[in-house]
């Protein structure tokens, strides 16, 4: 099998950018994250943290680039629409819990690796979901997301030809 690295052609995260061009003044105060601080886990499948529906269409069988699925999943998580995020998962799999905090999550996606195996293509990529904890501290959850699609297998369904998440292994 030959592995191929895929670079994300644009930044997935702009966390830390203030838009003003100058850093915030240093007040001398430094926050020490609480040893017991941990993000809460996403609500039941189908729930939305904001109540707003995510309006982007779920990538289908004609979207052969796995990045289209990552953009969709990232947008759904960042908007707090967990029902939409859960649609990015392969049918028959259980979506992994995603951290939630006191403000919307920020999702960062690293470089992915794509490889073929027995009629399927797998795409693995490091992801980080950062949330604000109860005291305003940023709490990152880092893991590896794996997506899969069928690789031109005759008779496969539209769902099988579509990129879908099969696992997220949180560190």
Q: Please say if the pLDDT value at position 123 is more than 60.
A: yes
**CATH number of domain containing 152:** 3.10.450
- The domain of 110 spans 42-170
In eight-state DSSP terms, residue 81 is B
The answer to whether residue 90 sits within a structural domain is yes
Task: Identify the pLDDT of residue 117.
Answer: 83
Going by pLDDT thresholds of 50, 70 and 90, the confidence category of residue 20 is: very low
Query: Is the entire prediction scored with pTM above 0.75?
Result: no
- Phi first, then psi, for residue 159 (nearest 5°) are -60, -40
Please give the average per-residue pLDDT across 80-93, as a whole number.
94
Residue 22 placed within a domain? no
Whether 14 is in a domain gets the answer no
d(CA 101, CA 132): 5
Q: Examine residue 69 and state whether it is found in any structural domain, yes or no.
A: yes
pLDDT at position 52: 58
Does the pLDDT of residue 12 top 50, yes or no?
A: no
- Examine residue 15 and state whether it is found in any structural domain, yes or no: no
Q: pLDDT, tens digit, for every residue of 26-81?
A: 333 333 332 323 333 343 334 444 445 688 999 999 999 999 999 999 999 999 99
38 or 165: whose pLDDT is higher? 165
Is residue 89 assigned to a domain? yes
Enumerate the β-bridge partners of residue 145: 125, 168
Question: Considering its fold, how many domains does the chain have in total?
Answer: 1
């Amino acid at each position: 099998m030959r592995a191929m690295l895929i670079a994300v052609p644009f930044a997935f995260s702009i966390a830390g950018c203030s838009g003003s061009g100058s850093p915030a003044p240093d007040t001398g105060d430094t926050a020490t994250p609480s040893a017991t601080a941990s993000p809460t886990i996403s609500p039941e499948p189908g729930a939305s943290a904001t109540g707003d529906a995510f309006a982007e269409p779920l990538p289908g069988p004609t979207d052969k680039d796995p990045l289209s699925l990552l953009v969709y999943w990232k947008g759904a998580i960042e908007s707090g629409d967990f029902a939409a995020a859960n649609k990015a998962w392969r049918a028959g799999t259980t979506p992994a819990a995603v951290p939630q905090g006191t403000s919307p999550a920020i999702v960062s996606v690293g470089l992915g690796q794509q490889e073929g195996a027995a009629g399927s293509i797998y795409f693995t990529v490091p992801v980080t979901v950062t949330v604000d904890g109860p005291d305003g501290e940023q709490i990152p959850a880092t893991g590896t997301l794996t997506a899969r699609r069928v690789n031109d297998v005759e008779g496969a369904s539209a769902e099988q030809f579509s990129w879908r998440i099969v696992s997220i292994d949180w560190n």
